[in-house]
Amino acid sequence: MSTRTRVAVVGGGANSEHEISLASAAGVAAALDVGRYDVVRLTIDPDGDWCDEDHERLALPSAVRTLQACDVVIPVLHGPHGEDGTLAALCDLAGVPYVGSGLGAGALAMDKWATKLVARSLGIAVAPEVLLTPATVPAYTFSHPVVVKPVTAGSSHGVTLVRGAAELPAALVAALALDPRVLVEDVVLGREIDLAVLGRPDGARVVAPALEIVADGVFDTESKYGGGADFRVPALLTDDEHEALVGAAKTMYDALGCAGVARIDFFLTDGGPVLNEVNTMPGLTEESQVPKMFAAAGVSYPELVDMLVRDAVVGFRHGVQASRRVVARR
């Protein structure tokens, strides 16, 4: 009988980040030690259908049974219908341990407006914004350069830096094509600094060395995946800057209820950190920001993936035991 842990790696997703998720899932699956893990690869097509590793379609009940036959699930889905907590909720209902944040944290972090509301309540600075819908767009008047973005999309899809009024209509159309709610944010002038926070089962919060993104203009989809950005890790920070960023990152991680690893993105301005967004399932190819940050701390890509899997199993066991004790006391 095999003593290897059976791991389901789920990639794809019914959203604009489908291909990016496939790359992350392929990297994660390849990083799992074949001597320790049996990997079951599952894909969610752009239309939402599940497929097994032989590309055969699975009805949802069959997909759930496949997940339940595994010891742990790694839901490597970015964007809506995945990172927003929907797949975590499915795993919860199926009683299967999974890597990463649960439904609540995934939904809050995916909603950029809700994330900003949480940050403001905690005293963490965010860019001033206006929330628009198709009904309120006609009343909006352009007065200064802004960044237009969908509330729930990821990987900078639908994000546009608008420098003049003539550019605004196309930017709004692109954003509204992905989400019926759009944020129009003031442009923040500062260095783009990412932090990766890893929550361990014992409650510890591990923060990897900070990473700075140096890009020409807005860090858009083309810059992220076309090789046009320069990642500098560790970022050159003063002690005070580092302390402020780490404190804000940990605060957001805990306030949203994150688990596993999350990437917290900031602009570092003359006035201090300004939160940009929180990613509960960040890119996880070996060349993505989070693995690069942990590599700078001496944690290799396979070691990081292994840690996430082990922590998920341990955390699930403790969580189940705790919930059973609560039920018993009732």
Boundaries of every domain in the chain: 5-100, 107-126+189-302, 130-186
CATH code of the domain made up of 5-100 = 3.40.50.20
How far apart, in whole angstroms, are the C-alpha atoms of residue 291 and residue 10? Answer: 19
Active site residue 13: no
* Catalytic-role residue among 283, 288, 301, 306: 283
Q: Annotated catalytic residue: which of 11, 12, 17, 185? A: 17
Q: Which of 144-148, 156-160, 202-206 has the lowest mean pLDDT?
A: 156-160
Section 298-304 average pLDDT: 97
For tokens 């060349």, the residue is: 287
pLDDT at 321: 41
Tell me the pLDDT tens digit for each residue of 261-276.
Answer: 999 999 999 999 999 9
Identical topology for domains 5-100 and 107-126+189-302: no
Catalytic residue check, 288: no
CATH architecture of the domain with residue range 130-186: 2-Layer Sandwich (3.30)
Task: Name 184's bridge partners.
Answer: 130, 148
* Residue 225 is a catalytic residue: yes
Q: Is the pTM of this model over 0.75?
A: yes
53 is catalytic: no
List 191's β-bridge partners, or say none.
268
CATH H-level superfamily of 107-126+189-302: ATP-grasp fold, B domain (3.30.470.20)
